[in-house]
Chains A and B, each alone.
Chain A
Amino acid sequence: MKSTINRTLDIAWKELLHMRKDRVLLPFLVIGFLLELTFVAWATSQPIDNLNMAVVDLDQSEQSAALVAALDATDTLTLRHEVADEATAIEAMDQVNTVLTPHANTILTLVIPAGFGDTLTSGGQPDVRIILNGAESVSAREARRVAEQTILEQGMRVRFNMEPADYEDQLPQVTVKYNEDLERSWYTLPGEAALIFYMVTMALAALAISREREWGTYEQLRVMPFRSVEVILGKALSPMLVGYVLFLSVLALMTLVFGVPLRGSLPLLLIVAVLYLLAEMGKGVLLSMMARTQLQAVLLVFVLVMVDLIFSGYAVAVETLPQLVQTIANFIPIRHWLVILRGVMLKNAGLDVLWPHIVALIAIGAVIIIFTAWQYRRNAS
Chain B
Amino acid sequence: MNLRHMFALARKEFYHIVRDPGTFLLVTVGPVFLMIVFTYMLTSEVKNAPVGVIDHAHNDASAELIDRIEADPVTRIAAYYESVDATDLDFQRGDIVAAVEIPENYGQFSLLGDVPTVHMIVDGMEPTSAEQVLETVYTIADEHTRDLAGDALSGFGLDSSLLDLPINVETETLFNPDLRSIVDFYPGLMGMMLTLPALALALSLAKEAENGTLEQLVASPVDKRALLAGKMLPYLVFGMIDVVILFIMGQVAYSVPFRGSLLEYMLVALLFNMANLGLALLIAVFVRSQQVAIIVAFLVFFVPPFFLSGMFFPADAMPFIVQLEMVEFPSMHYVSLAKAIFLQGTSIRDLLFNFVILAILGIELFEIAAFIFRKKIIVTVPWRKWFNRDEKRQSLTQQPIAQSRG
Which A residues form the contact surface with B (CB < 8 A)?
A: 14, 17-18, 20-22, 24-25, 28-29, 32-33, 36, 39-40, 42-44, 46-51, 90, 93-96, 98-104, 120, 125-141, 144, 147-148, 151-152, 154-156, 158-160, 169-184, 186-187, 199-200, 203-204, 207, 211, 214-215, 217, 220-221, 224, 291, 293-296, 298-299, 302-303, 306-307, 309-310, 313, 315-317, 319-323, 339, 342-343, 346-349, 352-353
Question: When the two chains form their complex, are residues B172 and A131 in contact, meaning their CB atoms are under 8 A apart?
Answer: yes
Smallest CB separation, A70 vs chain B (Å): 11
Task: Give complex CA distance A211, B190 in Å.
Answer: 32
* A-B interface, 4 closest residue pairs, ranked by CB to CB distance from nearest: A134-B176, A155-B166, A179-B124, A102-B336
**Nearest chain A CB to B222 CB, angstrom units:** 23
Q: Which of A14, A39, A46, A135 contacts B386 (CB 8 A)?
A: A14
Do the beta carbons of A135 and B176 come within 8 Å of each other?
A: yes
**Interface residue from A96, A291, A317 paired with B350 (Cβ < 8 Å):** A96
CA–CA, A204 and B289, complex, Å:
12
B184 within 8 A of A: yes
Assembled-state Cα–Cα distance A306/B181 (Å) = 20
A179 with B203: CB separation less than 8 A = no
The segment from B21-29, B224-232, B361-369 found at the interface with A is B21-29
Choose, from B2-10, B244-252, B297-305, B394-402, the stretch at the interface. Answer: B297-305
| CB proximity of A108 to chain B, nearest CB, Å | 10
Indicate if the CB atoms of A320 and B47 lie closer than 8 Å.
Answer: yes
Do B176 and A32 have beta carbons less than 8 Å apart?
A: no
Task: Judge if B15 is at the interface, Cβ distance under 8 Å.
Answer: no
Taking the nearest CB of chain A, how far is it from the CB of B81, in angstroms?
14
Contact A203–B295 (Cβ < 8 Å): yes
Q: Assess whether A40 is in contact with B303, with CB atoms less than 8 Å apart.
A: yes
Q: Which residues of A contact B138 (CB under 8 A)?
A: 172, 174
Q: Which of B30, B117, B292 contacts A25 (CB 8 A)?
A: B292
CA distance A135 to B344 in the complex (A): 8
- Residue from B164, B169, B173, B315 within 8 A of A134 (CB atoms): B173
A-B CB contact pairs (8 Å), 21 listed: A17-B386, A40-B307, A102-B354, A127-B170, A137-B183, A138-B314, A140-B176, A140-B179, A158-B166, A174-B120, A174-B134, A176-B124, A199-B298, A220-B388, A224-B387, A295-B23, A295-B26, A313-B126, A316-B46, A320-B129, A347-B92
Interface residues of B (CB under 8 A from A): 20-23, 25-26, 30, 33-34, 37, 40-41, 44, 46-50, 89, 91-94, 97, 113, 115, 117-131, 133-134, 137-138, 141-142, 145, 164-177, 179-181, 183-185, 199-200, 203, 207, 210-211, 287, 289-292, 294-296, 298-299, 303-304, 307-308, 310, 312-319, 322-325, 327, 332-333, 336, 339-340, 343-346, 350-354, 380-381, 383-384, 386-388
A44 partner residues in chain B, CB cutoff 8 A: 307, 313
Given contacts A125-B165, A176-B130, contact A22 B92 (CB under 8 A): no
Q: Which residues of B contact A211 (CB under 8 A)?
A: 291
Q: Most chain-A CB neighbours within 10 Å: which of B129, B166, B345? A: B166
In the assembled complex, the Cα of A317 lies from the Cα of B123 at a distance in Å of 11
Tell me what chain A mostly uses at the interface: helix, strand, loop, or mixed.
helix
Q: Which of A94, A126, A220 contacts B344 (CB 8 A)?
A: A94
Q: Are A103 and B314 in contact (CB under 8 A)?
A: yes
Contact A154 B167 (CB under 8 A): yes
Looking at chain B's contact residues, the main secondary structure is: helix
Q: Which among A96, A154, A173, A214 is the interface contact of B336 at CB below 8 angstroms?
A: A96
CA separation between A269 and B170, bound complex, in Å?
Answer: 50
A321 to B47, CA, bound (A): 7
Which residues on B sit within 8 Å (CB–CB) of A347? 91-92, 125
Establish whether residues A36 and B125, one from each chain, have CB atoms under 8 Å apart when the complex forms.
no
B314 touches A316 (CB 8 A): no
Q: Pick the residue among B129, B167, B339 that contacts A126 (CB under 8 A).
A: B167
Given contacts A172-B120, A174-B134, contact A130 B312 (CB under 8 A): no
Contact of A137 among B123, B176, B295, B384 (CB under 8 A): B176
B165–A21 touching, CB < 8 Å: no
Which residue of A21, A46, A100, A174 is within 8 Å of B317 (Cβ)?
A46
